[in-house]
Chain A
Amino acid sequence: MVDNYEPVVVAYCCHYCAYTAADLAGSMRLEYAPNIRIVKIMCTGKVDTLLLLRAIEDGADAVYVAGCEEGSCHFLEGNYRAKAKVAQAKAMLKEIGIEPERVAMYNISASNSVLFAKAANEMTEIARKVGA
């Protein structure tokens, strides 16, 4: 691993909660890792396991799904479906010998910009630890 290795982390953020939290993090001038590439989706229920695997395959060092808190999904159960997809992706990565911690799920409410920043930093650290 070279010293100047900077991981690339993809974040699928739902419009109603996590993306709003990201916006608020920006408004509050919270600092978080610049390694995050945010992909805005209407609901994390849209995330398919293939999206997560393809992100890793195409070069991302880690990928996480950030949705509404459980019980508060704007579309009722999208975040539950995303949770199952993330679990499936972890199992598949483990099967092929890739660290399953590269994929994760976070539940972030729209006002919880601090948690958004924490998640971004956490996933970047995990990606840095496991390497390219």
Chain B
Amino acid sequence: MIVGERKTFEQIWNSVKNLKSVLVLGCGTCVAVCQAGGEKEVGLLASELRMKAQLEKNPIKIGEFTIERQCDKEFFESIKEKS
């Protein structure tokens, strides 16, 4: 079990604004419990990023997905299936 805390939006935006496409990937276990990186938080962050990109006329593409757990490799198979 780990404890997570989301970075500030400014930090996140500055690290992705020059990219062409970004996948906001959440985890449905530890960080979801901490309300930092679960499915809801992924939706919120992706929405914020899309609105910010629209405001700054940035053509960046934002995708969103949440896997069950990030600590076991098997759970990443679902991302491959989705893509």
A residues with a Cβ closer than 8 A to B are 48-50, 53-54, 56-57, 92, 95-98
Check B48 against A95 for contact (C-beta < 8 Å): yes
Interface locus among B26-34, B49-57, B74-82? B49-57
Would you call B10 an interface residue if the criterion is a C-beta within 8 Å of the partner chain's C-beta atoms?
A: yes
Q: Report which B residues bind A (CB closer than 8 A).
A: 8-10, 13, 40, 43-44, 47-48, 50-52, 54-55
Query: What are 29 A-B pairs at a CB distance below 8 A?
Result: A48-B40, A49-B44, A50-B43, A50-B44, A50-B47, A53-B47, A53-B48, A53-B51, A54-B47, A56-B51, A57-B47, A57-B50, A57-B54, A92-B9, A92-B44, A92-B48, A95-B8, A95-B9, A95-B10, A95-B48, A96-B9, A96-B13, A96-B48, A96-B51, A96-B52, A96-B55, A97-B52, A98-B51, A98-B55
C-alpha spacing A54/B46, complex, angstroms: 10
- Which chain A residues lie closer than 8 Å to B54 at the CB level? 57
Contacts of A49 in B (CB 8 A): 44
Task: Count A-B contacts at CB 8 Å.
Answer: 33
Q: How far is the CA of A60 from the CA of B16 in the complex (A)?
A: 26
* Closest A residue to B42 using CB positions: A50
Q: What residues on B are CB-neighbors of A53 within 8 Å?
A: 44, 47-48, 51
**Cα distance, A16 to B57, chains bound together (Å):** 42
Residues of A within 8 A of B50 (CB): 57
Q: How far is the CA of A95 from the CA of B48 in the complex (A)?
A: 9
Which residues of B are found within 8 Å of A57, using beta-carbon distances?
47, 50-51, 54
Closest to A53 in B: B47
Measured CA separation A57–B43 after assembly (Å): 12
Question: CA separation between A97 and B52, bound complex, in Å?
Answer: 8
What 6 A-B pairs have minimum CB-CB distances, sorted nearest first?
Answer: A53-B47, A95-B9, A96-B52, A50-B43, A96-B48, A57-B51
Which residue of the partner chain A has the closest CB to B8? Answer: A95
Chain A nearest Cβ from B31, distance in angstroms: 17
Chain B positions within 8 Å of A96 at CB level: 9, 13, 48, 51-52, 55
Cα–Cα distance between A2 and B8 once the two chains are bound (Å): 35
